[in-house]
Amino acid sequence: MTSIRALDTTIEVITPENISFDYQLAGPFRRLPAYLIDIVSRWCLIVLFVLPLYLSSLFFDIFTMRNLVTLPFFVAVTLLVYFVISWFYGTLMETYFNGRTIGKWITGIRVIEVDGRPITGRSALLRNLLRIADLAPMYAISNVAEGVPPIYMIPTGMVGLGTMMLTRRMQRLGDLAAGTMFVIDEKRWRIPVETVDDARVPALATYLPADLRISRSMARTLAVYVDRRGAMAPTRRREIARHLIDPILEKVGFRPEIDPDLMMYTLYYHAFLRTEVAVSDTQDQVDLGVLRGHSPLRTSSVVCKHDNDAMPVERSSHVKSEPSDIDPAKSLQVKSREERP
Amino acid sequence: MRIAKRMKDRQPQWEELERLCDAMELRGRTDKALGGSYSGAEGIQRFASLYRSACADLALADAYQLPPATVAYLHRLVARAHNQLYRANRVDFRSWIDVLFVEAPKRIFADPCVRVSAIVFFGLFCLSMYLAFHEQQFPGYAEAMAGQSALEQAEDSFEQPLNASLGHYIVMSGFYIQHNTGIGLRCFAWGILIIPCLYVLASNAIQLGAVFGYMARSETASGDHFFQFVTAHGPFELTAIALSAAAGLRLGIGLFYTSGLSRIDSVRVNASRAVPIMGASAMLFVLAAFTEGFLSPSPAPYVFKAFWAILSSGLISFYFVILGFHDQPTSDVPSGKAKEDWDAA
């Protein structure tokens, strides 16, 4: 649709069903905690495997009254377990748990192929082996601390961080080679249900002409506006809404003093929430509330006594004090206008 | 139809799909979701049809004029269901046998990186061995390259004739698998940056060569024991080091020699080519570790060890040449019909 891609961290994936949907990409700030958790859980796993082995070898030696028969086996198996887990923890986890390790599961991210398919064994192997290169260059602790043997090195991860910044999908070198990317795997996401809590809105909506068409772009604008309006002060809402609302007021024949924010909300209600019921029913169901007796219509023959009060900008509920001069004939006139084809 | 009504109609299905996703994420099955009303094939069918209808909703979101927040929700729902429907394949060991015995030898045979790394490794190894052996012409070479303490340690540890218990063998083969294969894998990973890989390869070659040359001198007392030790596993081990570096170089070369692909695609294609070579190297490392653990330190006669070395060299040659030989060089561009698709894409 638009030729300019949105400047954010989503990536479009086209499924085999020929549907394109957006994935939220995960950047370094989500991936680092996952990696740190993985380091810890890797060591926990090694201990978890080795401890029962050690105990069973100990018991075996005690029961058979022999000294250290099984110890060599134990040491060899320990070395093998250490080797397999420290090198292939990520590979095995990602292939068995659909692109997730323990750290990724906790931080809610998942690794998939760049085309949206699940990760394959080969890609998982590559990206996990190449982590070493991504953690480069090593920084020797002995540079800053005296007396530390030069074997202790801290990986700075500059290579990985650099490539992550330079690539569109935020991939490190290993991801580039394996053709994988990280996506955020949101677990809970409730369906947003907008409800209108303002009693004036349904009432005002009944005055809108029934044939009022809301264009797609207008509908999108309305939804975004209603989504964001809670974060804005009333004066700001009015300022923003005015630009859009003024021509519409003209079009639907409402009086220009109507609060633009309220009008936006009403249009939103009209576009998204109003159920398809006969207008006459609506008139019965909707409690006109504060609007009772006031018509927002400019050209309507219903002439309001308190013109300036008709659609007060911020109106409190002083309904009772309003003169309730509903004339059946006048409401009919309003209806007839609404039932216009 | 009004949007509110449509959303009200669709919402139960979206929620049902979410519950199925929950169940799939936890157990990989749909049995426990929705009170067990769907299980097995029925559950998958239900899941798939719900997923397809969610896809359709998303595709029509614009036409339906759904609010952006709902569209965002649908994007996430579809992504989540997509992740469950198209799950990662478990590692298939049969396919890995195929990779190791069909794909890997062909790649190794055709890959110039293997030749480069073999020449670098064995060339430097032989040169270093020669320099270390002739102490008169090159005094202090072995000590400078391998380090005085390392040489003395090597000399000390082969003072006694080779003789060890079973327990020792087992521990040592475990250690060699862990240690040496680790070095190989590291060498491979550094390959993507090329220079560290070449450095590791060259330094290994030079140090090993220096130790070999030093031990081969007639005045070194424990030289005989040393060569008895290294003969059996030498072919496997040295080839494995060269191969892992070759796989690493293949990764790194992709960055520069893109052969018409974009740089990132080229890295990807080359990385995929490097994996079988690395797999073969890891296999050789493991074979070397078992030989090094069990046969090398045993008091078995030297003839037997030499025979094993010749046999293993023969096996490696068979693997590289007989299994690897093929008419046209392998490339990642498939032939025939598939090639047209590739070009079209």
Reported as a single tens digit per residue, the pLDDT across A58-87 is 888 788 766 666 777 788 888 888 888 988
For residue B83, give the nearest of A177, A185, A272 by CB distance.
Answer: A185
ipTM score of the complex? 0.79
Angle (CA) B236 B239 B241, round 5°? 105
CB of B52 within 8 Å of a chain A CB? The answer is yes
- Alpha carbons B288 and B175: distance in angstroms, whole number: 12
B64/B58 Cα distance (integer angstroms): 9
pLDDT computed for residue B125 by the predictor: 93
For residue A112, list chain B residues with Cβ-Cβ distance below 8 A: 83
For chain B, how many residues are written?
A: 345
Closest chain B residue to A180, measured at CA: B268
For residue A163, give the nearest of B185, B196, B255 by alpha carbon: B255
A 280-339 → B contacts, CB under 8 A: none
**CA angle, B113 then B230 then B205, to 5°:** 35
Encoded tokens for A248 = 């519409």
Closest by CA to B20, choosing from B7, B11, B32, B9, is B32
Q: Where are the domains of chain B?
A: 7-85, 93-331
Predicted confidence band of residue B30 (pLDDT cuts 50, 70, 90): low
pLDDT of residue A153: 74
Phi and psi at B333, nearest 5°, equal -85, 115
Confidence check: pLDDT of B179 > 50: yes
In tens, the pLDDT along A8-58 reads 778 888 877 777 777 888 888 889 999 999 999 999 999 999 898 888 888
Banded pLDDT at A303 (limits 50, 70, 90): very low
- List of long-range contacts for A30-34, beta carbons under 8 Å, 24+ apart: A30/A107, A30/A108, A30/A109, A30/A182, A30/A184, A31/A107, A31/A109, A31/A182, A33/A103, A33/A107, A34/A101, A34/A103, A34/A104, A34/A106, A34/A107, A34/A109
Residue of B49, B51, B95, B268 to mutate, interface with A, max A Cβ within 10 Å: B268
Contact (CB<8Å) B88/A120? yes
Report residue A112: phi and psi, to 5°. Answer: -135, 170
Confidence of residue A7 (pLDDT cuts 50, 70, 90): low
- pLDDT number for residue A99: 85
- Cross-chain CB nearest to B182 (options A83, A159, A176): A83
Residue A21: both structure tokens together? 């949907």
Closest by alpha carbon to A106, among A117, A97, A115, A118?
A97
B14 reaches A (C-beta below 8 A): yes
- A134: closest CA of chain B, how far (Å): 9
Structure tokens at B252: 């790194």
Q: Is A18 helix (H, G, I), strand (E, B) or coil?
A: coil
Residues 308 through 327 of chain B touching chain A, CB cutoff 8 Å: none
CB spacing of A191 vs B91 below 8 angstroms: no
Buried residues in A78-114 as b, exposed as e (16+ CB within 10 A): bbbbbbbbebbbbbbbbbebbbbbbbbbebbbbbbbb
Coil, helix or strand at residue A24: strand
φ/ψ of A153, rounded to 5, equals -125, 145
Mean pLDDT (chain B) is 81
Query: Minimal Cα–Cα distance from A61 to chain B, Å?
Result: 14
The answer to whether the CB atoms of A122 and B268 lie below 8 A apart is no
Q: Where are the domains of chain A?
A: 10-184, 200-338
Contact call for B193 and A133, based on CB within 8 A:
yes
Which pLDDT score, from 0 to 100, does residue B8 have?
A: 74
Nearest CA in chain A to B165: A72
pLDDT in tens, B34-81: 666 666 778 888 888 888 888 888 888 767 767 777 787 888 888 888
Q: Which residues 222-241 in chain A show a CB within 8 A of chain B?
A: 223-224, 227
**pLDDT, tens digit (0-9, with 9 covering 90-100), for A163-193:** 888 888 889 988 988 989 998 876 555 556 6
Name which of A124, A130, A155, A87 is nearest B190 in CA terms.
A130
Contact A223, A196 (CB under 8 A): no
pLDDT at B344: 45
Tokens of A202: 């349904």
The answer for B 219-238 residues in CB contact with A (under 8 A) is none
| Residues A253, A297: Cα–Cα separation, whole Å | 6
Q: Could you give the C-alpha distances from A104 to A180, A184, B205, in angstroms and in order?
A: 14, 9, 39
What mean pLDDT do residues B97-124 have? 90
Task: Report CA-CA distances (Å) from B112 to A191, A309, B72, B122, B279.
Answer: 56, 87, 50, 15, 18
**Taking all residues of chain A, what is their mean pLDDT, rounded to a whole number?**
74
Who among B52, B83, B189 is closest to A98 (CB)? B83
B182 touches chain A (CB under 8 A): yes
How many A×B Cβ pairs under 8 Å?
191
Q: H helices of B217-262, where?
A: 223-256
B333 pLDDT higher than 60: no
**Looking at beta carbons, which residues of chain A come within 8 Å of B25?**
187
